[in-house]
Amino acid sequence: ELINKAKSIDSSLDPMRIKGRIQTLLPYSATDILDWGERNLAPLRDASTKKTNILNEMNRINAFGWLEDAKNASCKPPSFLDRFTAKPPHFYEAVLTKCRGEMMSFVTSLEKMKKEFEREVKDLHLDALALTVCCDQYIDLNTKQCAVERAKTLRLAHQTAAMLFTTIEQTMQQCSNAVQQIDSFVSVTLPNWKMMK
């Protein structure tokens, strides 16, 4: 009955994946319920911190800003003062090559994070769903209240995790775009610029 109730909430649900969770939850006390889902909440907090750190590093490195500066410098007609003040092509080559290496390391980290976090998002959904359908089964009012509140927390955490997963994908795409644009500039624009110097 509880599995059917869960399937009515999420029709894509694999009954065998939720069955074990429901069987585990039914004899639980209030203390046990307050810890339910914690194993998936911890990775959510960790992933959020790691992604924020990568974004801060991306802002510090400013790959797109350097690309824009390099493009502007390569298109600008040389003036007399540029001989003394303008940064030469090899300066941008070095900076952009360094930026590319750092962006590639972020792509690798984000790819790994995405793969690991995808499982956590699914597990958090199952934990929230299992507790949601079990809430009415608890006779003790305090246990029932704990179950209702914990299920609500896990549902909201799952929504947050799903949004975080999307932003991890978006950040990975940004890093990939930076690498591709740097490759294009260094391989095509920069050699032409050097020849014109």
| Residue with tokens 């824009």, as numbered in its chain | 68
Give the pLDDT score at 102: 97
Write down the pTM of the prediction.
0.81
Give the pLDDT score at 118: 87
Give the pLDDT score at 84: 53
The token pair that represents 89 in the structure block: 């092509």
Give the pLDDT score at 36: 96
Note the pLDDT tens digit of each residue in 12-33.
998 998 999 999 999 999 999 9
Judge residue 189's burial from the number of C-beta atoms within 10 Å of its C-beta, 0-12 exposed, 13-18 middle, 19 or more buried. Answer: middle
AA letter at 20:
G
Let me know how many helices (H) and strands (E) the chain has, helices first: 9, 0
pLDDT beneath 50: ranges in the chain: none
